Amino acid sequence: MPNKRPSCDQCQRPIASCLCDLCSPVANLVAVLVLQHPKETAHAKGSLPLLQQSLQTIDVWRGEIFEQLQSKLDLGGFENILLYPSDGANQETLIATESKRPRRLILLDATWRKSYKMLQLNPALQTLRRYSPNIKHPPMYLARKAKKGHQYSSLEACCHALSELEGDAARYQGLLNNFQHFNQRLLRQRQR
């Protein structure tokens, strides 16, 4: 049996791609639930591990079809908001409106094509209010190519959405800076 590459006890990644030095806890006020497509779990370039180790209130469910999703989303009394391009609904009211319930941002971690399929396969997601952050710069993620200029990594989109929903961009700037370092690391590894 071949020897397995040594991995970090904390982040479970190979030592050469350990993320621990880039993780710093962020106390997010809006909870995050990530629905991750199974094919994303094996991507070494994925931004979710860094996000998962940095946010204090985050859950990750893996799958493509989520059985009884509506009843699971109803647990905890959250106001669930889907991080996905809006169908034209007025998002300004979502930022300005105080919620009586704690908010939870739901993020689909997949390619754009697979995330659209997940949306279609899970009718409970289609009923949720959608939100897409107003990001004014091109995607930071150069290690994985986006086909369109508005396609951001899960980490980037999540940080910008949380910044807007919570009204505190400074809270997530450190994590975005760490993501830039992670991205630069991936680009250096590719050049070797």
- Structural domain contains residue 136: yes
Number of domains in the chain: 1
- Structural domain contains residue 86: yes
- Structural domain contains residue 121: yes
pLDDT tens digit string along 13-52?
777 777 888 888 999 999 999 999 999 876 667 788 889 9
* Nearest to 132, CA basis, from 107, 111, 112: 107
Structural domain containing residue 44: 28-191
- Structural domain contains residue 18: no
pLDDT tens digit string along 46-99?
788 889 999 999 999 999 999 999 999 998 899 999 999 875 555 655 666 677
- Structural domain contains residue 123: yes
- Structural domain contains residue 56: yes
pLDDT tens digit string along 139-176?
766 655 555 556 788 999 999 999 999 999 899 999 99
Contact predicate 103/31, CB 8 Å: yes
Label residues 157-180 b or e (16+ Cβ within 10 Å = b).
bbbbbbbbbeeeeebbeebeebbe
Distance CA 146, CA 129 (A): 25
Whether the pTM exceeds 0.75: the reply is yes
- Structural domain contains residue 38: yes
Q: Report residue 177 as tokens.
A: 């800076």
